């Protein structure tokens, strides 16, 4: 069993009369992680599921007396798929306020859904964590360096969702990824905020998938989809909140000719991106290897950032005359710049960047040094 980086962090945050909220897309391993934590826990535990009728029914009477009967002798209450439970935030608040010593762990597949229901009532009573598909740091203890490099093509084509990693048959990998996209991701998105137009959402995802790593115009996307700019922005925001995609803004410091308002969109998992466009061709037959490589490396750094709780800020950098850098990381007043190359070329840092940010670090990441970059 591959140990998740969040396991120890979550376990150590299980505090009496506090709630730990675990967010993440469907199928990234939240249930497995919860069970691993429960196995480590030495006290008495109760695991409920928000999709189970019995779990819903025993939590329905929102009273102190009911919860004291239910949780008598229980040290840890764990609730999977908690966003399905009506008034979950207020119920958890009542539990941690009135049951002395109780610890609570709750997971939800749609972060904004669970936050909207649990966030406000649990202010000051909760900690939040986000689980993503496997990172290379999590996979490395299970494989040697040769295995990792041999698995690189698979990671760029099929991604790093837990079950995809374990599936050996390539046709089954494809079927599984299609199921995630069609049965889970879009279902989550369309189940909230009254969205009914699954076709438009699917079309938007395809457009973003084909433009992955390129600057995106909301007005242009709107024209192609027959949607307003505001609707496009709203849909993209929803897609980011269910951990399908994320945005990189443009870095702008003190240089007048720097682009400052543009944005690029990337996928948390390149396997999901390839499933959306239906392209599982080997790397030797693809014309988007540069895009896949850039997305993969940035997403691995995103995972590091989320799991380490460093709170780095990520950007791309470009000037109006075409000088550009793939990734800028800003943290504690320091700037690191990274350029990603699938081939062997080692370009120098753009002159405009070096001149205006002389104290920054610059590194070209390729197949020879990428493991040091993502581990």
Residue 309 confidence (pLDDT): 75
Residue 57 confidence (pLDDT): 96
Quick one: angle between helices 111-118 and 88-98, nearest 10? Answer: 50
Number of other CB atoms surrounding residue 346 within 10 Å: 11
Residue 195 confidence (pLDDT): 62
Residue 123 confidence (pLDDT): 87
CB 18 within 8 Å of CB 93: no
CB 248 within 8 Å of CB 298: yes
Contacts of 190 (CB under 8 A, 6+ apart): 196, 198, 201
Instruction: Give the span between the Cα atoms of 133 and 275, in whole angstroms.
Output: 15
Contacts of 207 (CB under 8 A, 6+ apart): 221, 224, 225
pLDDT band at 201 (very low <50, low <70, confident <90, very high): confident
Question: Which helix (H) or strand (E) is 152 found in, with range?
Answer: helix 152-158
Residues facing 249 on adjacent strands = 263, 315
Higher pLDDT, 234 or 100: 100
Residue 317 confidence (pLDDT): 95
Structure tokens at 286: 């693809």
Instruction: Give the span between the Cα atoms of 221 and 263, in whole angstroms.
Output: 13
Higher pLDDT, 35 or 111: 35
pLDDT at 81 over 70: yes
Q: What is the pLDDT of residues 18-27, one digit of tens each?
A: 999 999 888 9
Q: How far is CA 313 from CA 54, 327, 334, in A?
A: 43, 10, 11
pLDDT at 352 over 70: yes
Where in the chain does DSSP place strands (E)?
Answer: 18-24, 45-49, 76-80, 103-108, 126-131, 245-250, 263-267, 313-318, 324-331, 334-340, 361-365
**Whose structure tokens read 């590091």?**
304
Higher pLDDT, 189 or 27: 27
Residue 258 confidence (pLDDT): 56
Please state whether beta strands 313-318 and 263-267 pair in parallel, antiparallel, or not at all (unpaired).
Answer: unpaired
CA angle 346, 352, 355 (to 5 degrees): 95
Instruction: Give the span between the Cα atoms of 258 and 248, in whole angstroms.
Output: 15
Residue of 5, 8, 22 lying closest to 105 (CA atoms): 22
Q: Among 38-47, 261-270, 357-366, which is the least confidently predicted range?
A: 261-270
Q: What is the mean pLDDT of residues 225-232?
A: 92
pLDDT band at 190 (very low <50, low <70, confident <90, very high): low
Quick one: angle between helices 198-210 and 218-225, nearest 10? Answer: 130
Residue 202 confidence (pLDDT): 85
Residue 194 confidence (pLDDT): 59
Q: Strand order of the sheet with strand 103-108?
A: 45-49, 76-80, 103-108, 18-24, 126-131
pTM score over 0.75 = yes
Q: Whole-number mean pLDDT of the chain?
A: 92
pLDDT band at 240 (very low <50, low <70, confident <90, very high): confident
């Amino acid at each position: 069993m591959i140990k998740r980086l969040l396991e120890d962090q979550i376990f150590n945050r299980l505090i009496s009369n506090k709630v730990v909220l675990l967010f993440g897309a469907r199928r990234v391993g939240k249930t497995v992680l919860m069970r691993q934590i429960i196995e480590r826990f030495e006290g008495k535990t109760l695991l409920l599921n928000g999709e189970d009728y019995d779990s819903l029914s025993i939590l329905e009477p929102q009273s102190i007396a009911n919860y004291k009967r239910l949780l008598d002798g229980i040290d840890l209450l764990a609730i999977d798929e908690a966003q399905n439970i009506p008034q979950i935030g207020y119920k958890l608040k009542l539990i941690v306020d009135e049951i002395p010593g109780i610890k609570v762990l709750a997971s939800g597949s749609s972060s904004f859904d669970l936050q909207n229901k649990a966030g406000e009532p649990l202010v000051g009573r909760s900690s939040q964590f986000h689980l993503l598909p496997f990172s290379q740091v999590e996979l490395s203890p299970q494989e040697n360096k040769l295995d990792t490099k041999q698995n690189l093509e698979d990671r760029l084509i099929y991604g790093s969702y837990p079950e995809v990693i374990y599936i050996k048959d390539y046709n089954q990998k494809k079927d599984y990824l299609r199921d995630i996209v069609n049965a889970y991701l879009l279902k989550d998105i369309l189940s909230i905020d009254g969205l009914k137009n699954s076709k438009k959402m699917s079309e938007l995802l395809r457009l973003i998938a084909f433009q992955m790593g390129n600057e995106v115009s909301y007005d242009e996307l709107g024209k192609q989809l027959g949607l307003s700019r505001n609707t496009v922005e709203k849909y993209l925001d929803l897609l980011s909140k269910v951990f399908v995609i994320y945005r990189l803004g443009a870095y702008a410091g003190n240089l007048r000719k720097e682009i400052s308002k543009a944005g690029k969109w990337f996928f948390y998992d390149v396997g999901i991106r390839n499933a959306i466009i239906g392209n599982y061709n080997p790397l030797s037959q693809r014309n988007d290897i540069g895009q896949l490589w850039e997305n993969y490396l940035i997403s691995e750094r995103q995972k590091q950032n989320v799991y380490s709780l460093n709170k780095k800020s990520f950007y791309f950098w470009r000037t109006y005359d075409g000088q550009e850098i793939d990734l800028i990381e800003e943290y504690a007043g320091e700037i690191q710049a990274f350029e990603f190359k699938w081939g062997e070329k080692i370009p120098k840092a753009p002159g405009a960047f070096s001149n205006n940010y002389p104290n920054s670090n610059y590194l070209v990441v390729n197949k020879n040094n990428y493991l040091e970059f993502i581990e």
